[in-house]
Amino acid sequence: MRTNVCFRYPAPFVPVPDNELLLSTDGAIWFVDLLRKVPNLQINEELCQEDWGVVVFVNRNSARYWVGIGRLQDQNEGDWLAFFNPSPLSWLPWRRRHCRRELGNLIEAMHDVLQEDASVSQIVWYEEKEMRTPNPKGFATPT
């Protein structure tokens, strides 16, 4: 499943005060606004600062996920990387199938949001394993 998406969006990069390379929670508000366009998505307004970027915790159709937003090293202003992960509880045997299906639905819905926003361009989806290679193979769609 392609769970990582790179795209261009004209939001300024707002770093944390003590690290000019790290996206701050204040700098991720625009991304939360994009997530709000996903139907039936419940968003935890308390964003989580990580040492690589920002996590947004979300729920959709009885499944929990966390969505990361940040930049890859050497990216230009306006180039972003987002990725979608199920919460650890999603992998319990009785939840696994539902949560995996819903993760795919969430990713498809986010793809629609990105495509419909005139400010978004250069959308490329990647499988997680591809992100660890020097030249990842990207796709125009998440499926």
Question: pLDDT tens digits, residue range 114-142?
Answer: 999 999 999 999 999 999 898 899 999 99
Residue pair 34/102 in contact by the 8 Å Cβ criterion: no
Give, in order, the Cα–Cα distances in Å from 134 to each of 68, 105, 125, 137. 21, 29, 16, 10
Exposure of 96 in the CB half-sphere (CA atoms within 13 A): 4
In a domain, 90, yes or no: yes
In a domain, 75, yes or no: yes
In a domain, 105, yes or no: yes
Q: Is the pTM of this model over 0.85?
A: yes
In a domain, 35, yes or no: yes
Please state, in angstroms and rounded to a whole number, the distance separating the CA atoms of residues 2 and 129.
Answer: 9
In a domain, 140, yes or no: no
In a domain, 17, yes or no: yes
Give, in order, the Cα–Cα distances in Å from 11 to each of 14, 33, 64, 88. 9, 12, 27, 31
Q: Is the pLDDT of residue 89 over 70?
A: no
> What's the pLDDT score for residue 62?
84
> What's the pLDDT score for residue 97?
72
> What's the pLDDT score for residue 76?
85
pLDDT band at 93 (very low <50, low <70, confident <90, very high): low
Residue 94 sits in which domain range?
2-132
Amino acid at site 101:
R
In a domain, 137, yes or no: no
In a domain, 139, yes or no: no
Q: Is the pLDDT of residue 92 over 80?
A: no
Q: Is the pLDDT of residue 94 over 80?
A: no
Q: Is the pLDDT of residue 27 over 90?
A: yes
Percent of the chain predicted with pLDDT > 90: 78
pLDDT in tens, 34-55: 999 999 999 999 999 999 999 9
Count of structural domains within the chain: 1
DSSP letter at 133?
S
> What's the pLDDT score for residue 87?
77
Q: What ranges make up the beta strands (E) of the chain?
A: 2-8, 15-16, 19-23, 41-43, 48-49, 54-60, 63-70, 79-86, 121-127
